[in-house]
Structures are given as C-alpha cells and as structure tokens.
Structure 1
Amino acid sequence: MPRAFGPVRSTAVTASAVSLALLLAACGGSDDGDGGGKKSSAPPAVGAQGVNAHPASDLKQGGTFNLSIQKWIIQYNSYQADGTDGDASAILEQVEPVLMPKDAKGVPHPDPDYLLSAKVTSNSPQTVTYKLNPKAKWSNGKQLGYKDFAALAQALSGRDDDYLVADTSGYDQIAKVQRGADDQEAKVVFKTPYADWPRLFRTLLPADEIDTPDKFNKGWIQKIPVTAAAWKIKSIDKTAQTVTTEPDPNWWGDKPRLDTITWRALSQQADTEAYLNKEIDLAPAILPEDYKRLVKDAGTDIRTGARWDEVHITLGTRGPLSDLALRQAVTLATDRKGIVTAFAKDLPFPVKTLDNHFFMPNQQGYEDNAGKWGKYDPDAAKKLLDGAGWKDNGPDKPRTKGGKSLTLDYTISAGSSSASVDQAQIVQQQLGQVGIKVRIQKVPDPDFFTKYVNRGNFDLTSFRNVDYPFPSQLFSTFQQPTAKQTYLNFGRVSTPEINDLLARAGRETDAAKARDLYNQADEQIWAEGHSIELYQRPQIQAVRKGLANYGAWGLGDPDYTTVGWVK
C-alpha cells in the first residue's frame, strides 16, 4: 500500500482463472522455494528505496499527483478496530502529524515541524519527554499539546472496552501522561519499561475528537474532522469516489510543491488500465500480467524497494478450525513452496518461503521457527484428521464426522488478484488431497475486511501485514481476545503462554533478549495454527516518469511536501 503504517491490506487486484496444470505443478515447489527458474538479480537490500530523489530546486511549482485506493473508505481513525485499512492510514498520515517518520532503514526520527525532541528522560520509572514545536497547530487553531497525548493514551490503554481499538500494546504500559514545563511538553510515564516507545503516538490525533468512545469510534467515519499538516482535505466526494487534498496555507513548515493530491477509489483490476490511460500516476507492478504491460510504457519508471510486507493465510475458529488438530492438519497439508513457486515464477529476483511471523528475512532476529509445521506433510495431516474423528471417504471426497462433511470457506474479495485467486485454488487443491473440501467464497470488495476479516467470518482467508519494523506492533495480531475486543487477532487463536511471552518481550529493554522472546512466541504461534506464513512480498511500483521523491519507499515514509514533478 502507498503508505508507511497499517496493519492489513488485501492482495486483491485482478481475477483470473488458473488451469489445473498450473495448480498441480505448483504443488511440487522447488527445494529452495525461489519460484523456480533463474533469477536475474538479488532482492532489494535493507534500506533500498526507489523514489527518484531530487532537491526542491529541481521541481516545478504546481501540478497534481493522482493515486488509487482499493475501495471507498469508511473509517479514517487508524487506531479504531475498523480503521486499519492501509489506504485510510495513508490519507490520514498526509494530513495529520506523523511525529516520528521512519528513514530508509526503518528507524524513526522526530520531525522538527512537530517535535523539537523526544527522548527517555528517566529510567525509574521509564519516562519519555516529548517537546512539541510551539508553531504546530490543529486546523481549529489550537496548539498541539500534552492533552492530545493524554487522550490518545487513554483511548488505547485497554481500560475502557467502549473504545473499540485495534491495538493496545505499549499504551497499556503507560501509567500516566503529565504536563511538562508547559502545555507543549508531554511526559509519558510507563508502569513497566517499553523498549519500542518510538512507535507510540506515531500519528497524533486531536484530543477534542477522540476523548470519548463515541467520538473515537464514530467521529472519523467518512471524514477527517481536524487536520494539522502541510496538507488538508479539500474534498471527500463519495459520488466521484475521490478524496482530494491541497496545501494548507496555515502550514508553518516548508511548502508543498504540488497543488493537489487526489486519491481515487478503483477496483484493483482497473489500476493498470487507469495508469496507462494517465488517470493515475502510480500502479503496482508485482503481478506478471501487469508488469509486462507497464514495463513497456515509455513514460514509466519501475521502482523497487525492500518493505516489511508479508503474505499469509489466516485460520478462523468460527467452525471446524476451532479444533487445534484441524488447524495443524491444514498447516501440514499446505505446500507453501508450491504457492511461492506459482507467485514468483516471473519475478526478476528470488522469493523464498517466510518462516517467521515477526521478522523479515532481511531483519536482525529472523529465525526459521516453522519447524515441522512449515513442511508439507500430507500424511501427517491425514493422521491428525483421523485422530480427530474425521472419516476418510476416499479420493476426491470430503471427510465426514457425525453426518457433516469437512468443508471450509476460503474467503476472498470479489476483485481479487490473479495471485490471490491462484493461491486460493492451489490451497483448495492441496487440502482436497487430504479430504478437506474448500469452497472459495468471493465477497464484495468493500465488505472483505469490515464484514468478514475484521469480524472473524471466515475459515481461511489471506491478506498482507505491512510496515511492522517493530515486532511489538504485532502483539495485537496474536493477543488473546476478550469478550468485546478481538484486536487484530481476527481468527481468535492465541494462548496465555503466547500472550505472556509477547508481553514480556514488549517490556524487555535488552534487544537481544526481546528478540529471543519473540522467537519463542513464534514457535508456539506456528504450533497453534494461528496463520501460515507464505512469503515476503517484493515492492515493485510503476511510477510516471518525472515524478520525484515518491515510489517504492521500502522501510521509510514519504514526505508529501517534497513530492513533485521535475522541471
């Protein structure tokens, strides 16, 4: 997604049928999982970006930049349970304070337009002091202040279940937020140490708009009520399915070069066509059918970067998969290398299976924790199914138990990409070999997350987790749900032991010890059948030639004040 923060993003783009021959071939993945065939180059390294960097002096003043989003956005509060859509967060971060944007290596640094400093000022108890730029103001005229920190910390603390939050991790360790030397200094005091504190308060929201559960949950539906950035909302046009932003004349920092940036809702199968018709200026070039068309366009740059971006299959527990043995059987019956082979066959660099839920292969801390659960073992899957009482009725027939057939719904969005459809059909064929019938359920694009994924209304589904350089960001993905809160654990698979390991890891200030705890938790997550990791998704973007300072951001964040067209 064209943004630097956001928990989930569907892989949907265009739908295409997959022949049985492809499905069968994909089930026998190459030993190295590199997608088969010779690759022409190595994958992008950590810190790699493709943004066509230029100084402001090289850029024209004016012009517009047109982007696409997957669907019309309902919830813009990225901290709310229904606000985790990547496109929504991208727009929000363009018009709200991103206090500590990340550099090319994923390291956050204070943005001086908002923060003069942010640092640990005491270790007993751990206290982080934020000194705000006194020039920084909300669009309602109020200065950014400690009350904004306090309101966000309260909403995300987990102490009030009426705030329907996506993630409490880190915030639940805050004891209090105090006024410092003045209203523009916030002192955040922690109950227990929290090593990943720089990820907190990433996007600051105004206290006046989030200080009650009703405002927090409903006040950002199809609107962004208050802004504080170089850009502001010009219009949100539901009829035209466009969100248009423009420079805010009250901005106190460097002025943007562009006149407008427009975000247009398009079904993803339309992205390539819209790009070639010059309706948008950026399109994903990750799928072979898109890449082959886009790379030939004379006015196009192909830009690549190394991003925290993983594709996985999530297992839900609303039906048969509430049984651990069945989740484990599904895991063992899924040939991950075969899926990677089908996906990566035409890419210019190798893609391998991902064996860790917290770390990418190019991150410190990465270990292969999949163990036996990462290996394709249909015989072991059959034994688990036998032991769970599911009768084997022979080839091409689903198993049965108590008069019911073993049938799972694999839920995908109606506009799913060829890769998504291929993947679903491969899984359907693989699980069918052990007696599990898989029905591919296509649902409307706008409903995929809000009515299905977020609500746990699936047996199997697949989407991307992106931009999680801090492993503690993933706590909510594996956190034990409560009666009211699912957090981001959509399948509701966890254990007290996993919860404890992740809580301890979040409090551990020794980085090596923290990584060890995350890897211990990861081993248990694999064994519990929470989700099946597949691969780290390459970042390949087609971008209009002449566009500067935008494209494949890798681990970094865009600065929309610097984006523009080269003279």
Structure 2
Amino acid sequence: MSHAGVGPRAIMRSAAFLTAGALAVSVLAGCGSDDEASRPLAGQDIAAVSRDKVTDGGTLRWAVDRLPETLNVFQADADAGTTRVAQAVLPSMFRLDGNGQPVRNPDYLESAKVVETEPRQVVLYKLDQQAVWSDGREIGAADFAAQWRALSGKDTAYWTARNAGYDRIEKIERGADDLEVRVTFSRPYADWRSLFSPLYPKDVMGTPDAFNDGARRKLPVTAGPFRLDKVDTKAKGVVLNRNPRWWGQPAKLSELVLQAVPRDQRATALANGTVDLADIDPADVDRIDRAAQGSGGAPLLGAGRTSAKKLRDVALEQGFPADQLPEGTTTRKKITTYLREQEALRDVEVRKSLEPAYTQLALNGSTGPLADERVRRAVARALDRKALAKVVLGPLGLPAVPVGSHLALSGQPAYTDGSGSLGSQDAAQAQSLLADAGWVPGGPITEKKPDKAAGAPAVKESAGGDGTYIVGQDDKPPHRATGDDPKDSEERAAQPSASEGNAGGRRQGQDGPQHTDQHPPQGGAPGAYAPRGTAAPAVASGPLAKDGKALTLRFVLPSGPGSESLRAVADQISQMLDKVGIATEISKVPDDSYFRDHIASGQYDLALYSWPSSAFPATDARPIYAKPVPAADGSLNVEQNYTRIGTDQVDQLFDQAVATLDEDESRALIRKADSRIWAQAGSIPLYQRPQLTAVRKNLVNAGSFGFRTPLYEDMGFLKKGAKAAPGPSGD
C-alpha cells in the first residue's frame, strides 16, 4: 500500500490478509492489549512550509508509471495515476490524516454525522455553501444519489469494480435545504466515512454510458483546486490546471502534469529536468546520494579533456556499472553523459517515509505441503522478521520494525501487534511442527522431475523494493462473492476444496480451472505442536521427506528491474527455511505474468507481494480473508484471498465489525479477527514498504506523504530566500 487519501479503495486498498481459527479464544486474547497505543513509524517528509513561502505559479511535472487507462476510480482498470487525478480535481468528503484515520474535509463539508440509528442508520451531510462544480452548479443530493445508484450493484449495466458500502444504502434525499444530504442505510454500516470519496458529478454517474465510457479520458465537470485540461496520449501526460471556480485556498501551482516515466528512466528524467518529482527505487537513492557527495561539490567533469582513466575512476565512484566500462569512444560518451547527469542530480534530494502498505510472505494453503497448517506454522516460526525488515529498510535509514498486524499499520487506530498468536522465531518449535506433520530428515526420496509453475517461462534457482508487487495497483482482483458455511467453526481448521479454478472464475484471463491434488491427511489437531517430548534437532541433519517426497516449496518472484530488494529478502527467507529442513525452489517470472499466472491462479507455494493499508479494514480486508466458496461452474471463488485459506469465524468477525457503530467495539473485533488470521499462518506480514521520493530541492509541500492525503493546493516552488524545514515533517 504510493497511496494516500480515503478514496478509491479498489486501487489504494485491496487488503492482504488471511484467516485463522484453530486456537482457542483464551490463547488469542493474550496477544495484545486493545488499549495499546501506536504511532506511525515514520512521519511524512515533504519539506513543509507555510503557503506564504511558496511561489505563485509554475509547473510541477510528477512521474507516474503509466498514462491512466481511465479517470473513473470505480472501474477495474483504474490505477495510481487515476487516484492522483481524482484527488486533485474531485470532491472527497473525508481524507486521511497522518495516522491514516479519516477526517472531515472542510473544503466540502461543514459537518457529517450519524443523526439516527433506529429504525435505520441515517447520516446527515451538511455541505460547504460555496461548494460548486466547475460549471457553476451546486454540489448536492443529486450527485450523491447518482453515485449511489451507479455503485449499488443493482444495475448491471454499470461496469463497476466494487460496491462495498453503497449496497447498504436504502435511499438518499435532500435535507432541510439544498446544502443538506440525508443518506439512509438499510443495514448498519460502520465505514460510512469511506463513501463519496471521491464524489463524481451526476453527469458521470447518471447513465451507464457516461460511467463506462464517458469518464475514461474526459472529466468536463470537476470540483477541486485543479481541473482537467487534457489527456495527452502522444506526450503520455495528464495536464491539470488551476480551477478558477475553486472556493478554497487557491492552488499555488498554475499547472500540474502527471508524466508517464518508467522507473528505470526516472533518474535521467530528473537530471534533464523533464520531471520534478518521482517515486524511485533504492538503486536511484544510492545514485542521488553519490551525486551529492561526489568530489566535494566540485564538477565531476574537468574543464578540459579528462583522461580516460580519470573518467573511469570518477564514473565508478559515481555508481556507473563496472560491466559497462570497456575501452572505446561509445563508452566514453556514455560515461560523460552519466557524469553530466550526476552533476544535475545535485539539485535533487530524496525524501523518505514509509508507505501505507506492507510486504508479506504469502503461503498457498490450497495444495501441497502448505495445505497442512502445521507446515505453514513451521514456515512462520522459522522466520526472523526483524532481520528481514533490516534487509530492506536498514540501508535506507528507515525504522526496521516488523509489521504486527494484517489489518492496520502502526499509527492507525485499529493497530495492535497480534503476532503473539503465532509466536516468534523458534527453530526447535518449527522442527517439532514438521515432525508432527510427518516430515522427517533422511527419509527415502522418490526422484521426480519438478513441474514448472503455470504461465510464462521461469528462471529457476536452487535458493534464494523494494520492488514488491502491490496487489490492487496494476492487476485488478476479481469481483467479490459472498457465502458462508455455518458448519465451520473456530475450533476446526479451514479445509479448502480439493480442486479450484482461477481466482474469481475467468476474470483474470486464464484458460480454465486449474485442478489440484487432494490434500494430504493432516493428522492431529490443526495447528497443534508436537507431543511433549518429541525430539527436534537444533539444525536439520538433512532434507526432510514424507511419503517419498522431499519437502521443497516453490518460491515465485518477479524478475523485472526494481525487484532487487525483494529478491534479497527471498534469499534470506530461503536460508532461514533451509536451517529447519525446508528446501525452496525459486522461480523468477516476468512481471506481467507474476500476479496473473501465479498468484491469482494459485501456481505457487511461497510468494512476496504487498497490500495497501486501509482506513476501513472491516470493509476492505474481508474479501481478502473471505472463506473461499464454490462457484456455479464448480471452481472455487477465492475473491481476493490468494492464499486460499479461510473460516466462517473470521468472516463473521468482519461482518460484526462493519455492522457496529461503536468505534471501540468495531476496532476490538478487527483486532480479534487479526489474531485468528495470525494463528492460521496463511500470510506473514514482514515490513512496511519504504516510500522513496526524489524531488527538486526547491519543491515544497511535496514528497513522501506517508498516510496523509496530499494537499495539492499547497504544493509549489520555494520563493527565493525562503527556507524549508529540513527532515521529516511531524504529523
């Protein structure tokens, strides 16, 4: 989870979590206190200054991964660029503060509160009396009602990516005057603040044609500090300019351009001035740091013709790849260009924080050894999560603190460390669990040629950014389905079906159901430790085997640029597992097939990817932890639960949390659900992702925002003679 703001959770949040339920409530209750307070591990780093120190005018060029396919955040192919546009040009009733908590947006709302709970929940919105669309029409109940009808799920002509929350609305009507909107719910909805952020005009939401096609490239009517000027497909940019009808603090910038720039070209784009702000990878952080430190501020290229040896030495010092340094005229030109870029990068700095997203190790529990909960728990107990966090965050000077919750991050109100439900690293306990599951060292092994994971060809290694793949950004999860099995219980482990299709039917573009082998019998109580007295050697004396098969797990990773940190983490995990007798076979696959052909289709044992955080876990996390249910075609609908592990008990906790209007009670239920998710050991949160933003030094009120929604009207360039506060900004 970069992401900021309350709105489009289909992009900013697709939660990543798993279900649990094998341990007794009394055990789970001891994992953390409901009153435990937390704070963000890192504040925003945006060079914050007051508006009077910001120049009026100027163009900010902001690098994004690609030109948005749509400007409608409620469509399945919306992405982070779509979110940026929506935040700058559309109303949001609520936005996120520095703790990732929704707060009223005073530019649009005078107030919003629950005014009735019986017989129905009613929320009354009082709009700012100056709030108007760019065509001069007042923002009002007609816009709220049009968005509700489009997203309610009742009219299938609207191609919507989600309808969570809107499907609970019974009616929307005008209040005492045009500035009041009354929203009546058919069922209680705790996360009502998640709705209408962003809010589109009725011109977009009023008809299926306008919703499906009209807002993909045009937004003629907006209501934010900026308005959409054009989407320039040739220049691969989205151009926003000041909204003359904006009633709030006027935008300092005259123009904001979202420019599509691949990540491996961003350092060059920053150096040549084609972008001013860009999210970057750790390798570019190192390059910018070298530029700032090199030659004590002296020019990296001499006034005259520098000798070849001197050029090579300076280039190596500045991080030029050594394998690209053979002698030759072409190489000299490349080096000279590189060093000129390094000199230009002295005008750029890196602002660091932690993203509202975390990286996890996912364990596919649908088939193979990991279908046994004891093996999953052994994997989890073998991991030193703090050491893994240090691999990525330590070199960047960011807090290397393991994430303690699947459903919230440190600083958010629902956060508490629930990892005690699973237990800390303990190699002896890991081996006891494996022994209890029948995996013993030195057992006979029947040689069998390993199967390749489905999808594109993979490059395999014997063992083993952060380039972590973020679910909910580029590959859209299947639509949500519902269904419970009331016979399941907390005391019984989830038993996924013996066969399943692709995630969510065929929406991921796969050929058909992917049938799996029958789960091996588990034996003993699910999640139980080995019987008292079971021997467990401190170090595995050889590969573990069972029924003639070695204990080897397929570890699937993306192979593209920017994934170096991710692969380093995978290598450490492989070494930790090897110490308890679990072998890993790493498969590096192309980025474009990583999620589609492996994660979503279940063709993996272990995988690393990230989930964005949410201010509304009761709504957003449920599809990720929902118990998989059979679909009409006989496949298994896993919703967004790509580990394929779930229980009715966890589903019920989410349902209870989203239906209570008592915030403390709702948070307690979320924490209880997280405890059970930990206990099931389907996904293991590792660390909060680094947020690394390269910016021109005179650009202020912009950079790494952390949880907080950006204030686009405050961004701009520092006035001459003014100074910005150094370092991270407090929240």
TM-score (norm 2): 0.63
Cα deviation, 1:209-259, whole Å, max 9, x if unaligned, reads: 345677656665566575332323333334443222222344444432223
**Aligned to 1:93, what secondary structure does the other structure show?**
helix
Whole-angstrom distance in 1 between the partners of 2:153 and 2:287 = 48
Judge which range, 280-289 or 408-417, deviates more. 280-289
Please state if 1:479 is matched with 2:528. no
Q: In structure 2, which of residues 82, 96, 102 is the aligned counterpart of residue 88 of structure 1?
A: 82
Contact 2:378 2:431 in 1 (8 A): yes
Judge which range, 273-282 or 519-528, deviates more. 273-282
One-letter amino acid matched to 1:312? Q
Whole-angstrom distance in 2 between the partners of 1:9 and 1:401 = 44
One-letter amino acid matched to 1:101? R
Q: Which residue of 1 aligns with 2:347?
A: 299
Residue 387 of structure 1: CA displacement? Answer: 6.4
Cα deviation, 1:173-224, whole Å, max 9, x if unaligned, reads: 4333233235553211234443433232221123443456776566655665
Aligned positions of 1:70-469 closer than 5 A: 70-83=65-78, 85-124=79-118, 125-133=120-128, 135-138=130-133, 143-157=138-152, 168-182=163-177, 184-210=179-205, 220-221=215-216, 227-284=222-279, 287=282, 290-291=285-286, 293-294=288-289, 296=292, 298-305=346-353, 308-316=356-364, 320=368, 323-325=371-373, 327-371=376-420, 373-377=422-426, 393=445, 406-412=552-558, 414-431=560-577, 434-445=581-592, 459-469=605-615
Residue 432 of structure 1: CA displacement? Answer: 5.3
Cα deviation, 1:429-469, whole Å, max 9, x if unaligned, reads: 44456445333333245x65677656666554433333523
**Aligned to 1:516, what secondary structure does the other structure show?**
helix
Please state if 1:564 is matched with 2:558. no
Residue 71 of structure 1: CA displacement? Answer: 3.6
Whole-angstrom distance in 2 between the partners of 1:505 and 1:269 = 43
What's the % identity of the aligned pairs? 31
Residue 501 of structure 1: CA displacement? Answer: 0.5
Cα deviation, 1:5-36, whole Å, max 9, x if unaligned, reads: 556679xxxxxxxxxxxxxxxxxxxxxxxxxx
Q: 1:338 to 1:298 in 2, by over 3 A?
A: same
Q: Which residue of 2 aligns with 1:499?
A: 651
**Aligned to 1:121, what secondary structure does the other structure show?**
strand
**Aligned to 1:345, what secondary structure does the other structure show?**
helix
One-letter amino acid matched to 1:248? N
Whole-angstrom distance in 2 between the partners of 1:476 and 1:405 = 31
One-letter amino acid matched to 1:465? W
Q: Which residue of 2 aligns with 1:30?
A: none
Judge which range, 413-422 or 290-299, deviates more. 290-299
Contact 2:42 2:399 in 1 (8 A): no
Q: Which residue of 2 aligns with 1:54?
A: 49
Residue 529 of structure 1: CA displacement? Answer: 3.3
**Aligned to 1:359, what secondary structure does the other structure show?**
coil
One-letter amino acid matched to 1:311? T
Q: 1:558 to 1:439 in 2, by over 3 A?
A: same
Which sections of structure 1, spanning at least 5 residues, go unmatched?
Answer: 11-42
Whole-angstrom distance in 2 between the partners of 1:423 and 1:400 = 28
Cα deviation, 1:58-111, whole Å, max 9, x if unaligned, reads: 32222111212234433443334443x434312222222122223334444433
Contact 1:328 1:528 in 2 (8 A): yes
Whole-angstrom distance in 2 between the partners of 1:358 and 1:154 = 29
Q: 1:51 to 1:476 in 2, by over 3 A?
A: same
Contact 1:118 1:131 in 2 (8 A): yes
Residue 288 of structure 1: CA displacement? Answer: 6.5
Whole-angstrom distance in 2 between the partners of 1:123 and 1:206 = 28
Contact 1:165 1:487 in 2 (8 A): no
Contact 1:312 1:462 in 2 (8 A): yes
Whole-angstrom distance in 2 between the partners of 1:82 and 1:348 = 35
Q: 1:206 to 1:478 in 2, by over 3 A?
A: farther
Q: 1:238 to 1:449 in 2, by over 3 A?
A: farther
Cα deviation, 1:300-323, whole Å, max 9, x if unaligned, reads: 444345653322233446654782
Q: Which residue of 2 aligns with 1:26?
A: none
| Greater C-alpha Rg | 2
Whole-angstrom distance in 2 between the partners of 1:184 and 1:534 = 46
Whole-angstrom distance in 2 between the partners of 1:523 and 1:44 = 20
Whole-angstrom distance in 1 between the partners of 2:184 and 2:706 = 32
Residue 155 of structure 1: CA displacement? Answer: 4.6
Cα deviation, 1:264-308, whole Å, max 9, x if unaligned, reads: 233323333433443322244673762463472542444345653
Residue 521 of structure 1: CA displacement? Answer: 0.4
RMSD: 4.0
One-letter amino acid matched to 1:558? P
Q: In structure 1, which of residues 546, 558, 561 is the aligned counterpart of residue 698 of structure 2?
A: 546
Whole-angstrom distance in 2 between the partners of 1:272 and 1:438 = 34
One-letter amino acid matched to 1:232? R
Aligned length: 533
Q: Which residue of 1 aligns with 2:470?
A: none
One-letter amino acid matched to 2:5? A
Whole-angstrom distance in 1 between the partners of 2:623 and 2:150 = 15
Whole-angstrom distance in 2 between the partners of 1:497 and 1:358 = 16
Q: In structure 2, which of residues 684, 699, 704 is the aligned counterpart of residue 532 of structure 1?
A: 684
One-letter amino acid matched to 2:659? R
Contact 2:147 2:200 in 1 (8 A): yes
Residue 136 of structure 1: CA displacement? Answer: 3.9
Q: 1:111 to 1:8 in 2, by over 3 A?
A: closer
**Aligned to 1:78, what secondary structure does the other structure show?**
coil
Whole-angstrom distance in 1 between the partners of 2:280 and 2:42 = 20
Judge which range, 356-365 or 554-563, deviates more. 356-365
Whole-angstrom distance in 1 between the partners of 2:240 and 2:92 = 17
Q: Which residue of 1 aligns with 2:664?
A: 512
Whole-angstrom distance in 1 between the partners of 2:369 and 2:233 = 39
Cα deviation, 1:398-423, whole Å, max 9, x if unaligned, reads: 96879898552524262333212212
Contact 2:242 2:254 in 1 (8 A): yes
Whole-angstrom distance in 1 between the partners of 2:102 and 2:641 = 26
Whole-angstrom distance in 2 between the partners of 1:269 and 1:136 = 41
Whole-angstrom distance in 2 between the partners of 1:479 and 1:387 = 28
Q: 1:334 to 1:214 in 2, by over 3 A?
A: farther
Whole-angstrom distance in 1 between the partners of 2:99 and 2:350 = 21
**Aligned to 1:537, what secondary structure does the other structure show?**
strand
TM-score (norm 1): 0.79
Contact 1:47 1:104 in 2 (8 A): no
Q: 1:377 to 1:106 in 2, by over 3 A?
A: closer
Whole-angstrom distance in 2 between the partners of 1:101 and 1:409 = 38
Whole-angstrom distance in 1 between the partners of 2:432 and 2:221 = 57
